Chains A and B, each alone.
Chain A
Amino acid sequence: MIRLEQEPRPRRVKALGVYLGMGVLAFALTGGVFAAYGVSPWEVYRALLEGTLGERQGLAEVLRRTLPLLLIGSGLTLAFRVGFFNIGAEGQLLMGAVGGAAVALFLPPGAPSLPLMFLAGAVAGGLWALPAAWLRSRVDVNEILTTLMLNAVASAFVLYLVSGPWRGEQVQGYTYTDAFPDAASLPVLGDTLVHWPTGVLGAVLAVALQVLLTRTSLGYALRVVGASPRAARYAGLPTGRVVLLTGLLSGGAAGLAGVGEVAGIHHRLLDPTQLSLGYGFTAIIVAWLARGHPALVLLTAPLMGVILAGGDLLKISFNMPFRVIDVFSGVLLFCLISGEALARYRVRWGR
């Protein structure tokens, strides 16, 4: 029998060691799945490292994947700290892309186009999280289920737009809108797909949310609601409004990421499966790794960016299905939450 005892004085060194060990375990377990699939784990990991961090184009791919994770991840870090488990960033990103596309396609292009697109995207993403936040704060409906269900609804909505009313006039037989005007396109670094303004936005947001959380009285209210909802109620904090605000902020951040994708990479609204590559779900791990500190996302987002870019690479060089990313994500998440327990408790064998 395994028994856990509370660690009397949790030590940082031990926690760090446990997390490193769990990271290694995650790669070993995923390697086992690769072996079962029929390719050598060594070969996979070597290709993954060389193709992402070992060359310029690979590095650009990693950065490109990091940009949306930065935005979504810092929003989710805040949400998790408040105890609002927003699993709907994928749908909020899609709705943000819709908001941005609406501005790009239907307003006259000009200098304010890009700021307006980001604004519309943030509003659309935030509003998409609002029903779940409202239901959670008012009638205690589990937000994990509602945000997740709204992902599917958002996906159906985008599909409806691009194959119906918003379908481009110049496109023949494809399901996407016409291309955005130049004024609605984000600048990129050199010949890469790194739309750097989105990155600046993400970095600013991560730091701003960190400051909000740790240096303001509103942030104090957020932390109390997250740490102990009951204490927050006794203290007279407006828990309902805090949850609504958290939904708006985390949904809005995901909405910004959606605008970045359409304005920086695709330059049109398109099929939801091509628009987001599971950023909303990968960002859950980004946020979990950041352990309640939005600024830490500046470190954890690139880490998962490597895994997303690496997954793409594996699809091409080893002809693997896209689900390889889910294997990575699932195993990593399991190892992380187990590591959290091991860092906080001592393991005892026997009764």
Chain B
Amino acid sequence: MIDEMLQALLRALSFGTPLLLACLGALVNERAGVVNLGVEGMMALGALTAFGVATETESLGLAVALSLVAGALAALLHGFVTLTLRANAYVSGLALTMLGLGVSGLLGNRYEGAILMEPAPELPFTVAAGVLAVGLWAFLYATRPGLVLRSVGENPAAADVLGVSVAGVRYLAVAVGGALAGLAGAFLSLAYRPAWTDGMTAGLGWIAVALVIFVGWSPPRAVLGSVFFGLLYYLQFRLQDQSRVPTELFAAMPYLLVVGVLALAGLRRTQGSAPASLGKPYHRGER
């Protein structure tokens, strides 16, 4: 019994790792006031980049590093279109998801079904995600740059008056968010399932986007939230051959839960903790 529960917790931690990484990334850019719905696409690009680099160079370190770069570059495209060109951030994020899934599916075709001979261990990713969560928490609430980041998300005009480059901070936050989504993808293709298949991100990016709202933009709660969703995924696999409940219900469960959780968050008005300028463009001298 104890063994079983320990096993469940370990698997939940592993399932929750990509969710936590992507969620922390989205948390950083949303704290700066930028919405990026392209997480799923950036994860897919990170997963393909990591797998491709690992296959061609046999260097896991380089694979992880370049997955960060791929995620950040994709996010900067979103940043340019929304921050500089002032395009609709929600549509841009959607376009980024399409583009990321499309490009990774097309260019990844040559690796389709290939397996990594020496996969990366899962544990370092899980530990890194946990450390990042604690670090991000400390950064946001105990350092001056963290205060600057939050102020850009809460009141960009005030931050601007104090000499902060709002666009600069937002670009940086967007890049960090993309890099972490890329890392989440690398975990999937290097460690969790050391292989490349099209669509292997399987909606995790979208769940990460919803998770940020669920956890009220708080890093410690992001840890709990991702373990919770990890446990749900574990139960989906654990229960599907034992019970008489149709497997499709378990497959739909995370999505139903996200809707339910968003509804609850709305009803309980925890959305009040959203950064005040989230999703609103800021331009000096305009209202």
Contact = CB atoms under 8 A, between A and B. Distances in A.
A binds B: yes
Interface of A: 2, 4, 33, 36-37, 85, 87, 131, 135, 138-142, 144-146, 148-150, 152-153, 156-157, 159-160, 163-164, 281, 284, 288, 320-331, 333-334, 337-338, 340-342, 345
A327 B106 contact: yes
A33 to B, nearest CB: 6
Contacts of A328: 102
A337 B96 contact: no
A324 B262 contact: no
Interface in B139-178: none
Contacts of B92: 333-334, 337
B107 to A, nearest CB: 6
Interface residues of B, number: 49
B271 interface: yes
B95 A337 contact: yes
A288 B210 CA distance: 24
B84 interface: yes
A327 B258 CA distance: 28
A333 B41 CA distance: 14
B2 interface: no
B263 A144 contact: no
A150 B109 contact: no
Interface string B192-204: 0000001000010
B267 A139 contact: yes
Contact of A157 (B85, B94, B109, B252): B252
Contact of B103 (A131, A284, A327): A327
B255 interface: yes
B198 A337 contact: no
B75 interface: no
B252 A148 contact: no
A284 B92 CA distance: 12
A142 B255 CA distance: 14
Nearest to A148: B206
Nearest to B207: A149
Contacts, number: 149
A140 B263 CA distance: 9
A334 B105 CA distance: 18
Given A85-B90, A140-B271, A321-B112, 20 more contacts: A2-B84, A4-B84, A144-B37, A145-B206, A149-B259, A150-B259, A152-B203, A156-B251, A163-B248, A322-B105, A323-B101, A324-B106, A325-B102, A326-B105, A327-B102, A329-B102, A330-B99, A330-B101, A333-B92, A333-B95
**Chain B binding surface, main DSSP class:** helix
B102 A139 contact: no
B77 to A, nearest CB: 7
A37 B210 CA distance: 33
B266 interface: yes
Nearest to B82: A337
Contacts of A322: 105
Nearest to B37: A144
B102 A135 contact: no
A334 B81 CA distance: 8
Interface in B58-114: 77, 81, 84-88, 90-92, 94-107, 109, 112
A230 to B, nearest CB: 13
For A4, A131, A148, the residue with the greatest tally of chain B CB atoms inside 10 Å of its CB is: A148
23 contacts: A4-B86, A33-B106, A85-B90, A135-B263, A138-B266, A142-B213, A146-B262, A149-B210, A159-B251, A163-B248, A320-B109, A323-B103, A323-B198, A324-B102, A324-B106, A326-B99, A327-B106, A331-B95, A333-B92, A333-B95, A337-B91, A341-B81, A341-B85
Contacts of A329: 95, 98, 102
A4 B103 CA distance: 30
A281 B91 CA distance: 12
Contacts of A323: 101-106, 198
List the 4 closest pairs (A to B, CB-CB), nearest first.
Answer: A323-B105, A330-B99, A326-B102, A139-B266
